[in-house]
Amino acid sequence: MDPDAVKSTLSNLAFGNVMAAAARDYQKEIVAKEKAQAASASHDEVDLDELLDDPELEKLHAERIAALKKEVEKREVLKRQGHGEYREITEGDFLGEVTGSEKVICHFYHREFYRCKIMDKHLKTLAPVYLGTKFIMLDAENAPFFVTKLGIKTLPCVILFKKGIAVDRLVGFQDLGSKDDFSTRALENILKMKGIIDEKKKDEDDEDDETDMSMNRRIRSSTAQDSDSE
């Protein structure tokens, strides 16, 4: 047999094998792409009815509703205890107020002291924001017994109570740079550092409520459209 003819035959066989392998690889790539497109299309065409009937989604929704209900009930209890506003109390109310809530901020003030009015302004701003803490004020002139018992000598004096125990205090503006023009945020940060306010802010709760309301509106809208189509 002609050696050149043998080489030519072997070369043709090798080329044929390469082409066949390339064809198989190309076919595999096409099949893979078709499967990926089919999977993508199936994700895009999710039936809302199937989602609404999904037991896992129903469980998550029920848990969210239960958590929201519990939070609303907790807020109502706190409001009944005087949380959510900056209130003035009397000496006779003092013990009941500071022992009736887990966290209490009490401002001992004097009606004629300018710095007491500054402190009032900032505490009034923070009271509705941090529902977990009770904010109250007590006229020091009309509460001589507790002024003496608590060793209050400088006004304004803001005393922080946890479970009925005085755990810390702000005397004058010493912790606020000893300046009259401190910001509400500065006072807020100090109170956070001292652990007397630490709950989520009201505006953050409102964002969660908006999210839940939006989700409920979408579900109700979808349900209404299904009813109309029937």
pLDDT, tens digit (0-9, with 9 covering 90-100), for 98-127: 999 999 999 999 999 999 999 999 999 999
Does pLDDT of 15 surpass 60? no
DSSP per residue, 74-118: HHHHHHHTTTTSEEEE-GGGHHHHHHSSSEEEEEEE-TT-HHHHH
Question: Quick one: pLDDT at residue 155?
Answer: 97
Q: How far is CA 80 from CA 8, 29, 90, 101, in A?
A: 99, 68, 18, 11
pLDDT at 2: 58
Phi first, then psi, for residue 226 (nearest 5°) are -65, -40
How much is the pLDDT for 189?
A: 95
| Per-residue model confidence (pLDDT) at position 227 | 47
Percent of the chain residues topping a pLDDT of 70: 61
Has residue 93 got a pLDDT over 70?
Answer: yes
What mean pLDDT is predicted for residues 51-70? 71
Q: Distance (Å, rounded) from C-alpha 62 to C-alpha 74?
A: 18
Tell me the pLDDT band of 69, cut-offs 50, 70 and 90.
confident
Instruction: Show Cβ contacts of residue 135 under 8 Å, excluding neighbours closer than 6 positions.
Output: 83, 85, 86, 87, 104, 105, 107, 123, 124, 126, 127
pLDDT at 1 over 80: no
Tell me what the mean pLDDT of segment 203-224 comes to: 50
Q: 116-120, 142-146, 148-152, 216-220 — which is least confidently predicted?
A: 216-220
Q: Which residue has the higher pLDDT, 91 or 57?
A: 91
- Is the pLDDT at 23 greater than 70, yes or no? no
**Chain-wide mean pLDDT for the chain?**
78
pLDDT recorded at residue 12: 53
- Predicted local distance difference test score (pLDDT) of residue 206: 53
Q: In the predicted model, is pLDDT for residue 219 greater than 50?
A: no
**Stretch 50-79: mean pLDDT:** 71
Checking if the pLDDT of 45 tops 90, the result is no
Q: Please state the rounded mean pLDDT for residues 153-177.
A: 96
Lowest mean pLDDT among 47-51, 56-60, 78-82: 47-51
Distances (CA, A) of 84 to 80, 140, 197, 201: 9, 23, 13, 12
